[in-house]
Amino acid sequence: MSSLASPLRLGPVELRNRVVAAPMERNYCDHHGIPTDHYVRRLAAVATGGTALVYAEAAFVRADGRVRPRQLAADEDTTIAGLRRLADTVHEAGALFGMQLVHGGRLAKAAVSGYQPVAPSPVVATVIDGDLPGQLEPDDIADLAARYADAARRSADAGADVISLHAAHGYLLAQFLSPRTNQRTDRYGDPALFLREVITAVRDAVPGLAVGIRVSAHEGLPDGLDVEATLGILQRAGVSELDFVDVSAGCYEAGQWITPPGEFPRGVHAEAAARFRALGPPVGVAGRIVDGATAQEIISRGEADFVTVARALHADPEWTRKVLNGQKPRPCISCNYCTDALRTGEPVGCAVAPEAAGALPIAAPVTGKPGVLVVGGGPAGLEAARVAAAHGYRTRLAERRETLGGALGLAAQLHEYPEYRHIIDWYTGELAEAKVAVELGTTLSAADIAGQPEEIIVLATGMPRAVPRLPGASPGRVRGLLEWLAEETVAEDEYVVWGADRNGTALADHLATAGARVTLVGAEPELAHDVGPRAKILPLARLTGDPKVRLVLGAVLTAVEPEHIHVRHSGGETAVIPASGPVLVSVDAADAVNPVAGIRAVAPEKTVVAVGDAAGEGGWSALAVRHAALTMHRLAGGERR
């Protein structure tokens, strides 16, 4: 038995293995903070998938500490019934159920909670355009300690086995710990005092439960806490008397450490976590633990006693069972779509897992039905083919390029996206196991498709893209971004990128990282305007800090000369800018044409559907893949369009 599979005792409870499902927030509650049916299903899936301890998300302990409209509530007795549903479904699958308790402090907003936020000191969280928090008075601090205890008691009444105090990532407990946010001159200027009082109150409230803490090993900022300072505060706060310490890192101002991007090494916080073993209790660690080998190495090296997994279990709830059995889970690609999707207020999906955003239709596998031809091997096409085969259809996939993956596969070449290739490899293996016939280098016209034997045609070709015509451009100098990625590598000293959306920004970052000079022209006033803040922290920092990069925002490219480009700014003024080299374009020249109508015109007897970007349901892999899955489940259920 591997050490990852071995049991572990945390105070009064025993984990069946060393994998813990992190308290990941996903907008799965209603607006009263009560878990929905989808929440119950998703936790059940993780527990059934073999994970030892399954947390709900961080639940707010007092109403003025609510950070998001659909955050889990534990502030009143009326929440107990909903929490019990989560606990019961986790227990039925043989796992332990954990509650993490939190107050947002200065990260809460009046627009969400209905109250002015409170904090140790009136320090505004400018990174989220936060409100000015009121400074907590000593009697209110005492009330907050009691509220943590009350929430712990409710959690116990609901059936929780484990309580975790959220003292990481810049929430209220962490705000007391950090000199950036605790500027008090009274006794609560001692960063350890409030945490010690909360620990004591919670321990007294739930003496039969395992109680631990989640901490940021460091804040990730020059003026923030480092590992040494954090350890010293935790020692004085009485953390050594707890049942476990779960180590993460970062704060909202350094969010790349909270949900590390794919550029960061796997198990990025493990070395820091090892330092926390000096406190005494068992140590867990989070951060880019996306595969079984990384998890096993962390445990085997003694850097931690358990691993806390969030995004990888969001991508595949059976991750634990699969890694313990030596199988390959559906891989998390560390794109941070899930993290940034929290801002939408809708149930959070996943770039690789279509069921994450909501239940998919159920249809029985079919037999003796006509075949399915999927045209296009990007994420939507791969998912469509996988689901079709799972429903029993004879399935064939035709892709015009010599490789699978579509735009996602091309993006996998970029510096920012090193994990993308793993989902394409996973799909390749899944299709092979399902005996899907994959034909690469195959271009099919409408007439060709009409002559194919399959009755059901699934178009996953994306929307046609055209490169705008630019006056003065020599032949071949202006090229589409995807066309260039499919055929070229960084070989020139200078490039112009037109289009500062996430694709253009990622390409500009890639070129600059390779040493080229880059002029990036974009119509929007900000870089990667179509990406949430967490997913673009690192590329934006590189682009804005690189002297070889010229950013021309709020402008469009109008003409090209051998050594110059012409741009027109949003206010109407024009400029001529020195710039040479290839012009790579991430804007579209014209309205796209829906490809379905052309196929239906020449093959009226066939069922023709489009999925993903070809159906206007793309832009993000998460949206395209979910649309493909929904479409194929509905087809299998008898729906024809």
Tokens 């003024």 — which residue? Answer: 573
Across 594-607, b (16+ Cβ under 10 Å) vs e yields ebbebbbeebeebb
Q: Is 344 exposed, middle or buried (0-12, 13-18, 19+ CB in 10 A)?
A: exposed
> Quick one: which of 340, 349, 380, 379 has its CA closest to 530?
340
Handedness of CA 250, 252, 22, 428 (dihedral sign): negative
Give the residue with greater pLDDT, 464 vs 179: 179
How far is residue 639 from each of residues 362, 396, 625, 634, measured CA to CA in Å? 12, 20, 19, 5
Domain shared by 204 and 266, yes or no: yes
| Type of residue numbered 272 | A
Longest pairwise C-alpha distance within the chain:
81
- Cα–Cα dist 153/612, whole Å: 46
Kindly state whether residue 190 falls inside one of the protein's structural domains: yes
Backbone angles phi, psi at 428, to 5 degrees: -60, -45
DSSP category for residue 331: P
Q: pLDDT value at position 488?
A: 86
Find the domain containing 444 and state its range.
371-464+592-637
* Number of folded domains that form the chain: 3
Domain boundary among 324, 342, 360: 342
pLDDT band at 100 (very low <50, low <70, confident <90, very high): very high
Q: What is the DSSP string of 98-126?
A: EEEEE--GGG--HHHHSS--EESS----G
**Is the distance from CB of 150 to CB of 65 less than 8 angstroms?**
no
The stretch 112-118 carries a mean pLDDT of 97
Backbone angles phi, psi at 357, to 5 degrees: -80, -15
- Cα–Cα dist 542/508, whole Å: 10
Q: pLDDT value at position 618?
A: 80
Kindly report the CATH number assigned to the domain that includes residue 387. 3.40.50.720
The stretch 43-71 carries a mean pLDDT of 98
- Cα–Cα dist 294/290, whole Å: 7
Which residues have C-beta within 8 Å of that of residue 445, sequence separation ≥ 6?
none
Total H helices, total E strands in the chain? 21, 25
Give the residue with greater pLDDT, 535 vs 637: 535
Q: pLDDT value at position 639?
A: 74
Kindly state whether residue 469 falls inside one of the protein's structural domains: no
Express each pLDDT in 530-542 by its tens digit.
999 999 999 999 9
Residue 1 has pLDDT above 50, yes or no: no
Kindly state whether residue 470 falls inside one of the protein's structural domains: no
Kindly state whether residue 260 falls inside one of the protein's structural domains: yes
Q: Could you tell me the two tokens for 453? A: 């034997």
Domain boundary among 541, 560, 585: 585
**Is the distance from CB of 253 to CB of 221 less than 8 angstroms?**
yes
Domain shared by 603 and 575, yes or no: no
How far is residue 167 from each of residues 155, 234, 243, 354, measured CA to CA in Å? 18, 10, 15, 32
Q: Is 390 exposed, middle or buried (0-12, 13-18, 19+ CB in 10 A)?
A: middle
- Cα–Cα dist 497/586, whole Å: 7
Q: pLDDT value at position 593?
A: 63
Q: Could you tell me the two tokens for 103? A: 């107050």
Kindly report the CATH number assigned to the domain that includes residue 63. 3.20.20.70
> Torsion over CA of 501, 261, 119 and 67, rounded to 10 degrees?
70
Domain boundary among 342, 357, 383: 342
**Is the distance from CB of 99 to CB of 55 less than 8 angstroms?**
yes
Domain shared by 138 and 230, yes or no: yes
The pTM (predicted TM-score) of the whole model is 0.95
Domain shared by 71 and 164, yes or no: yes
Domain shared by 331 and 228, yes or no: yes
Express each pLDDT in 406-439 by its tens digit.
999 999 999 999 999 999 999 999 999 999 999 9
Kindly state whether residue 472 falls inside one of the protein's structural domains: no
Give the residue with greater pLDDT, 618 vs 317: 317
Instruction: State the angle between helix axes of 379-390 and 420-433 in degrees (0 to 180), rounded to the nearest 10.
Output: 30
Kindly state whether residue 359 falls inside one of the protein's structural domains: no
Express each pLDDT in 583-594 by its tens digit.
999 986 555 566
- Cα–Cα dist 44/213, whole Å: 24
The stretch 270-290 carries a mean pLDDT of 98
Backbone angles phi, psi at 183, to 5 degrees: -115, 25
Domain shared by 99 and 48, yes or no: yes
**Is the distance from CB of 489 to CB of 547 less than 8 angstroms?**
no
Kindly state whether residue 96 falls inside one of the protein's structural domains: yes
CB atoms within 10 A of CB 501: 19
| Type of residue numbered 308 | T
Domain shared by 486 and 538, yes or no: yes
Helix segments in 375-450, DSSP class H: 379-390, 406-411, 420-433, 446-450
Domain shared by 392 and 534, yes or no: no
DSSP category for residue 29: B
Domain shared by 232 and 163, yes or no: yes
Q: pLDDT value at position 555?
A: 96
Q: pLDDT value at position 592?
A: 56
Residue 197 belongs to what H/E stretch?
helix 193-205
**Is the distance from CB of 284 to CB of 244 less than 8 angstroms?**
yes
DSSP category for residue 169: B
Residue 97 belongs to what H/E stretch?
strand 96-102
Domain shared by 92 and 145, yes or no: yes
Express each pLDDT in 219-275 by its tens digit.
999 999 999 999 999 999 999 999 999 999 999 999 999 999 999 999 999 999 999
Lowest model confidence (mean pLDDT) among 46-50, 273-277, 400-404, 462-466: 462-466
Kindly state whether residue 363 falls inside one of the protein's structural domains: no
Express each pLDDT in 142-174 by its tens digit.
999 999 999 999 999 999 999 999 999 999 999
> Quick one: which of 54, 611, 17 has its CA closest to 314?
54
CA angle in degrees (0–180, nearest 5) for 330-407-264: 55
Kindly report the CATH number assigned to the domain that includes residue 512. 3.50.50.60
pLDDT band at 600 (very low <50, low <70, confident <90, very high): confident
**Is the distance from CB of 391 to CB of 402 less than 8 angstroms?**
no
Domain shared by 335 and 445, yes or no: no
Q: What is the mean pLDDT of the chain?
A: 95
pLDDT band at 641 (very low <50, low <70, confident <90, very high): low
Domain shared by 435 and 311, yes or no: no
